[in-house]
Structure 1
Amino acid sequence: MKILLSGVTRGYGALRCGRNLGTALLISGVIAGGARAEIVVAALGDSLTQGYGLPQDDGFVPQMEMWLRDQGYEVELINAGVSGDTTAGGLARVAWTLTPEVDAMIVALGGNDFLRGIDPAVSRENLAGILEAARAADVEVLMVGLEASSNYGPDYKAAFDSMYPELSDEFGVSLVPSWFDGILAASDSDGPSAFMQPDGIHPNAEGVSVIVDALGPAVVDLVESVSD
């Protein structure tokens, strides 16, 4: 992702008070009606995954789950997004995210690390720990990267941007280069504002729909990789 507002220094989950209180219940594998979906995918992320500022049905997880079902895939997508989370937070909770029911995992973290100016070497180590945990649990991973702006200089940007493809190669996991690629591709000359909430950081419902359309094929590949 290229952070859409250059110069923003607050974490994009900092506006949300509290945690996603429903995550622990969902992670436990409780599925409506007591039926277990054929494939269970955990989406480990921050406010972008959690659905900050949106009605529940308009967030990334429900929109992606509906998109997959419309494509004919029986998938339960677990919302393991926590608003304001960094890669360190993701690493701290990946063990209890990877319950026996989880077949695959989407990892979308790092934006808050950038916005807080955390050393990319630290972020990289945390992401590596998450990927190591997934490997130990024999869980397939799709990693969604980000592209930093130049707030902290070219060296920081280069180190941050490169950690995603390098970790993808190191661990042999699939990678979508940027969470916001779909929005940037769909934006007109006025920029992406039509797809964003007033804070300029989080997508609105239409923006999430565009993101889902762009990420969907990679998530299908992830689902099919564990269906074989």
Structure 2
Amino acid sequence: MDKRPVVVCFGDSLTAGYGTDLGQSYPDYLQKDLNAEGYNYRVVNEGISGNTTKDGVNRLDSILALKPAVVVVEFGGNDGLRGLRIDDSRTNMDKIVGTLKASGTKVVLAGITLPPDYGPDYIKQFNDTYAMLATKYRVPLLPFLLNGVFGVDGMMQADKTHATSKGNEVVARNVLPLLLPLLKK
């Protein structure tokens, strides 16, 4: 039985590592980075492709059952791509972050954005959701999970939505600086 404290990466296909080989998701690389830095934590990948914020709310009990020290929350992309109401996504994200925080779990919030064809108003409201929640719950925010990955040769799969294995290595390095201050060596 692994007794190390748990870091849960909780999200959709970007967390799951969609389209990459086993062991090449950003949570896999995050585990390697934590090990290399001398942090004794177990990273658990709770990413499910296609999940919306509503699915995240429905999965909260199973996440809390893992008794995580920290949860990296990455949801919203599927809501946005499906054009779901921003208010509904915000309510769901608020419930996810609020429930985790109320349980005593530390949270890191990872944002995502949408392609420009969704229109500037919708995109701005969508992006603002992450900043609002980070402020409300005083949690660290990575505004764009795919920073340094999106639009970079070799970092994105042909679908222009999901990171490659190389891209996931960068995503893990994006998450790491927000996570480390919440961990004990």
TM-score bin (small chain): over 0.9
Unaligned residue ranges in structure 2 (runs of 5+):
none
Partner of 2:176: 216
Shift of 1:54: 1.4
Q: How many residues align?
A: 185
| Alignment counterpart, residue 115 of structure 1, candidates 70, 73, 81 | 81
Identity %: 31
Q: 2: distance between equivalents of 1:134 and 1:127?
A: 11
Q: 2: distance between equivalents of 1:154 and 1:218?
A: 28
Q: 2: distance between equivalents of 1:197 and 1:170?
A: 34
Partner of 1:35: 2
Shift of 1:48: 0.8
CA contact (8 A) 2:114 2:123 kept: yes
Pairwise CA RMSD: 1.5
Q: 1: distance between equivalents of 2:76 and 2:39?
A: 29
CA contact (8 A) 1:102 1:139 kept: yes
Partner of 1:142: 108
Secondary structure, counterpart of 2:117 in structure 1: coil
Q: Which runs of 4+ in 1 moved over 3 A?
A: none
1:6-155 equivalence runs, <5 A:
34-37=1-4, 39-99=5-65, 101-155=67-121
Please say which structure displays the higher CA radius of gyration.
1
CA contact (8 A) 1:193 1:200 kept: no
CA contact (8 A) 1:86 1:113 kept: yes
Q: 2: distance between equivalents of 1:215 and 1:101?
A: 20
Unaligned residue ranges in structure 1 (runs of 5+):
1-33, 185-190
Give the letter for the 1:47 counterpart.
Answer: S
CA contact (8 A) 2:27 2:172 kept: no
CA contact (8 A) 1:42 1:78 kept: yes
Q: 2: distance between equivalents of 1:54 and 1:70?
A: 22
Q: 1: distance between equivalents of 2:86 and 2:153?
A: 28
Cα distance, 1:149–1:53 mapped onto 2, change above 3 Å:
closer
Shift of 1:86: 0.7
Q: Structure 1 length as normaliser, TM-score?
A: 0.77
Secondary structure, counterpart of 2:46 in structure 1: strand
1:201-212 equivalence runs, <5 A:
201-212=161-172
Partner of 2:152: 192
CA contact (8 A) 1:142 1:222 kept: no
